[in-house]
Amino acid sequence: MRHADPVEHADVWDEATAQAYDADTLEMNAPEVLGPTIDRLVALAEGGPVLELAIGTGRVAVPLAERGVAVSGIELSEPMVAQLRTKADEERIPVVVGDMAHATVPGEFSLVYLVFNTISNLLEQAEQVACFRNAAAHLRPGGRFVVELGMPDLQRLPPDRDAVIFEAGPGRIGLDTYEVATQHLVSHHFRFGEGTEAQLFRSRHRYAWPAELDLMGQLAGFTLEHRWSGWSGKPFTSASASHVSVYRLRPSHRDLDTR
């Protein structure tokens, strides 16, 4: 396990969060959710090696490696990597510990990908731009960068309110609080049982609109190749809750300052 210089926010993904992460995201491992994701990434990789930014506990990387794809990763949280290591060793899925906007991995890849809203963990626009450039720096000419990101739920936000409930069910409530002027939001995840005690996990994000991501891509030498509402490839519309955007590296990207 190699290390790059860490940045702030690593403490959010601490030991307790890492140990609970897989259980808290069980719905994301359902075959109808994960299957199309893996199928799409295999197709986009076109037989080449891939790099996952913010690889986490390996929810996507492990089944992708099981399909015969050579997977490497970058991950800021060492506890998350420790959970990944219970599923796959360093030889099978090598990981650099560091910031996905700046850390580097040896080699050249046919595909770099970011799933499950992870680019929003970078809280400044400049850092998100740097992430696009870092992806470009790891790609072979003509390679692809894939970003999965939710759409801001601002249509449900009344003018005098700053919070939207995104989940409500037995034992769990989730709400997002927005700061529209800065494009920041905080996701609050409440977990509780039959008693009076509850657990709270909070994560900070910077949301970005698809058009803003496209401009970030242009700055890094990419052109938009596809945009779908999900991994199954359905069309993206104004009613879509999220999108999967595929960017293709232009042949002239070597002339850009991608580092």
Whole-number pLDDT of residue 32 = 87
Assess contact for 250 and 222: CB atoms under 8 A: yes
Residue 29: per-residue pLDDT: 77
Q: Which residue has the higher pLDDT, 230 or 257?
A: 230
Residue in 218, 170, 167, 5 with CA at minimum distance from that of residue 100: 5
DSSP for 127-167, written as a single string: HHHHHHHHHHHHEEEEEEEEEEEEPP-GGG--TT--EEEEE
Q: How confident is the model at residue 30 (pLDDT cuts 50, 70, 90)?
A: confident
25 or 118, which is more confident = 118
Split at pLDDT 50, 70, 90, the class of 4 is: very low
Encoding tokens for residue 207? 């949301």
Q: Which fold has domain 2-151+209-255?
A: Rossmann fold (3.40.50)
pTM (2 d.p.): 0.88
Give me the mean pLDDT over the 242-258 stretch.
78
What residue spans define the domains of the chain?
Answer: 2-151+209-255, 154-204
Q: Are strands 139-150 and 184-192 parallel, antiparallel or unpaired?
A: unpaired
Antiparallel, parallel or unpaired: β 242-249 and 71-75: unpaired
Share of the chain above pLDDT 70, in %: 87
Long-range contacts of 37-40 (CB under 8 A, 24+ apart): 37/115, 37/231, 38/63, 38/64, 38/67, 39/231, 40/231, 40/232, 40/233, 40/244
Local structure of residue 27 (DSSP, 8 states)? G
The pLDDT value recorded for residue 5 is 42
Nearest 5°: the CA angle 14, 20, 26 is 135
**DSSP type of residue 236:** P
CA distance 234 to 206: 25
Is pLDDT above 50 for 3? no
Residue 122 has what pLDDT?
97
pLDDT category at 153 given cuts 50, 70, 90 is confident
Q: How confident is the model at residue 104 (pLDDT cuts 50, 70, 90)?
A: very high
Please report the pLDDT score of residue 253 as a whole number. Answer: 59
Range of lowest pLDDT (42-56, 127-141, 143-157, 245-259) = 245-259
Q: Tokens at residue 7, please?
A: 């940045």
- 35 phi and psi angles, rounded to 5 deg: -55, -55
Q: How does DSSP assign 163-184, residue by residue?
A: EEEEEEETTEEEEEEEEGGGTE
* Angle at CA of residue 55, ends 213 and 145, nearest 5°: 35
